[in-house]
């Protein structure tokens, strides 16, 4: 122990409550109704949203709301050893929790008999790719103009060398003691994704959750800046 934290500084030079650098761009894919690109640490992820659109296959159509579908996929070259391009069980699970993290924010009842498709493609992976994917997907959904009760921002916290830290990197995930990805609806103050790998006491759990929520709020600010720059920057120029 003590490998990952020395003198209060983490292995990549961060403080306990410091995020990795985050950069988001909007409208990166011309064909998509909404799209976003995110760099979250060494994660590089592109997200496309299509919809509301016609539902294929037809039997997935729902009479009272839109059918929300989500695919989280890792490119074969996104990891150290080539990943088989067929969806793994891990990717299927992450697709499910990503969809469930975003769904409470979406007003699907406004779009009956349609489909909304979210494609999360991980081009380069690092720790916390599901959180980065959810964060970018929320921006892409706003860009697509889907009605949203709130934004969704996501960030993980965890335990490394017996210390609770924010935003677990790849190394910290593999060598650390716990990883807790969280997604948050910041205005509704609701948690829509919560998972945990690793051991925490009840007290540590609360501390870790509070850390993750602080990270989520920082991510939320970056999401807002990105969208404001894309949609409203001409305003500030001319005013």
Partner 1 sequence: MSRRSSIVIEHLRQEQMEALLKVGKRLDGRGLTDYRELKIETGLIKKAEGSALVSLGNTQVIAGVKIEVDKPFPDMPDKGLLICNAEVLPLASAYAEPGPPDEAAIELARVVDRGIRESEMIDLSKLVIKENEKVYAVFIDVSILNTDGNLFDATSYAVVSALLTTKIPKYEIINNELIKTNEFINMPINTIPISVTMAKINNSIVVDPTNEEEMCMDARVTMTVDEANRVCAVQKGERGTLSIEQIKEIINLAIYKSVDIREKIKGVVYGKEKEQ
Partner 2 sequence: MSEIKRKYVLPGDYIVDGNYRLLLNAIKIGNSIHSTRIGIAEVSDDGVRVIPLSGVYIPRVGDLVIGKIISQSALAWDVDINSCFIAHLPAQDVFEDFNPAKDDMKKKFNIGDLLTCRITAFDRSRDPLLTVADKDLGKIKEGEIVKIAPTKVPRLIGKRGSMIQTIENITKCNVIVGQNGILVISGEDKSSIELTIKAIKIIEKEAHTPNLTQRIKEMLEKEKV
Q: Contact positions toward partner 2, by CB under 8 A?
A: 33-34, 51-54, 63-64, 105, 107, 111-115, 142-151, 185-188, 224, 227-228, 231-232, 234-235, 238-239
Q: Closer to partner 1 at the Cβ: 123 or 188?
A: 188
Number of residues that bind partner 1 (CB under 8 A): 32
Q: How does DSSP classify residue 144?
A: T
Q: Which of 164, 185, 216, 219 binds partner 1 (CB under 8 A)?
A: 185
What is the rounded CA–CA span in Å between residue 61 and residue 113? 5
Could you tell me if 4 and 10 are in contact, meaning their C-beta atoms sit under 8 angstroms apart? yes
Helix, strand or coil for residue 232? Answer: helix
Please choose which of partner 1, partner 2, none residue 235 contacts, taking the beta carbon within 5 to 8 angstroms, the exact cut-off set by kind.
partner 2
Please choose which of partner 2, partner 1, none residue 158 contacts, taking the beta carbon within 5 to 8 angstroms, the exact cut-off set by kind.
none
What is the rounded CA–CA span in Å between residue 106 and residue 226? 20
We find the least distance from the C-beta atom of residue 47 to partner 2, in angstroms, to be 15
Strand partners, 53: 115
What is the rounded CA–CA span in Å between residue 183 and residue 215? 10
Please choose which of partner 1, partner 2, none residue 239 contacts, taking the beta carbon within 5 to 8 angstroms, the exact cut-off set by kind.
partner 2
What is the rounded CA–CA span in Å between residue 45 and residue 122? 4
Among the listed ranges 31-39, 86-94, 129-137, 165-173, the one in contact with partner 1 (CB under 8 A) is 86-94
């Amino acid at each position: 122990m003590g490998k990952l934290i020395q003198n209060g500084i983490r292995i990549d030079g961060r403080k306990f409550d410091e995020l990795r650098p985050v950069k988001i761009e909007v409208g990166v894919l011309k064909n998509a109704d909404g799209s976003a690109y995110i760099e979250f640490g060494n994660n590089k992820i592109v997200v496309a949203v299509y919809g509301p659109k016609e539902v294929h296959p037809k039997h997935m159509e729902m009479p009272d709301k839109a059918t929300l579908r989500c695919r989280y996929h890792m490119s074969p070259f996104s990891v150290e050893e080539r990943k088989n391009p067929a969806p793994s069980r891990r990717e299927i699970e992450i697709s499910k929790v990503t969809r469930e993290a975003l769904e409470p924010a979406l007003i699907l009842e406004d779009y009956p008999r349609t489909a909304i498709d979210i494609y999360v493609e991980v081009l380069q992976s690092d720790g916390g790719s599901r959180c980065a994917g959810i964060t970018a997907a929320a921006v892409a959904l706003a860009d697509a103009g889907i009605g949203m009760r709130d934004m969704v921002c996501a960030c993980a916290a965890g335990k490394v060398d017996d210390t609770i830290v924010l935003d677990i990197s790849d190394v910290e995930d593999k060598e650390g003691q716990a990883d807790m990805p969280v997604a948050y609806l910041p205005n509704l103050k609701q948690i829509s994704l919560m998972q945990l790998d690793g051991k925490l006491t009840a007290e540590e759990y609360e501390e870790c959750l509070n850390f993750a929520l602080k990270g989520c709020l920082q991510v939320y600010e970056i999401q807002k800046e990105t969208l404001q720059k894309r949609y409203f920057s001409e305003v500030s120029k001319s005013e």
